[in-house]
Amino acid sequence: MTKKDVQLNIRMTRDLKDRIEASAKANNRTANAEAITLIEFALAAQDHSMPNLVNEHQKLENIDENTSTPKESQNVKNAMKLNEELRTEIMGYLEDLTARLEKLGVDMDELTPLPDRKKAP
């Protein structure tokens, strides 16, 4: 963080603050750095949600079957490879997050699933 970074003051429950502090200690970070890391991770996961990647991959497969030139086919294959790399990266993040939450004593089966988020047109 630099002096040019902006601040955001937020209110949270004592339980959430305690969990962030415990996670920070486990990851050898300050509570502020841990909160930022968790927020960044959540936003990245939202941007690259698994259902979106699966849908995009299926669309790319359909396009690949109907391409007419080798260049178009190669472009689709490159996009499919990137999509798969993103999916693998996200799965790694999810596994890491699950391990961290379990370390904090969070029962993953008790978490309420988030509703599907639709992007604005």
Concatenate the DSSP letters of all residues of 58-99 into one string.
HHHHHHHHT--SHHHHHHHHHHHHHHHHHHHHHHHHHHHHHH
pLDDT band at 118; cut points 50, 70, 90: low
The model's pTM: 0.42
State yes or no: pLDDT of 40 exceeds 60: yes
- The answer to whether 50 and 90 are in contact (CB under 8 A) is yes
State yes or no: pLDDT of 58 exceeds 60: yes
**17/45 same-domain check:** yes
- The answer to whether 107 and 97 are in contact (CB under 8 A) is no
Q: Does residue 37 fall inside a structural domain?
A: yes
* Cα gap 109→51, rounded to integer Å: 20
**74/104 same-domain check:** yes
| Better pLDDT: 2 or 21 | 21
* Cα gap 95→99, rounded to integer Å: 6
Q: Please tell me the total count of domains within the chain.
A: 2
Q: Does residue 5 fall inside a structural domain?
A: no
| Better pLDDT: 28 or 105 | 28
Q: Does residue 26 fall inside a structural domain?
A: yes
| Better pLDDT: 69 or 120 | 69
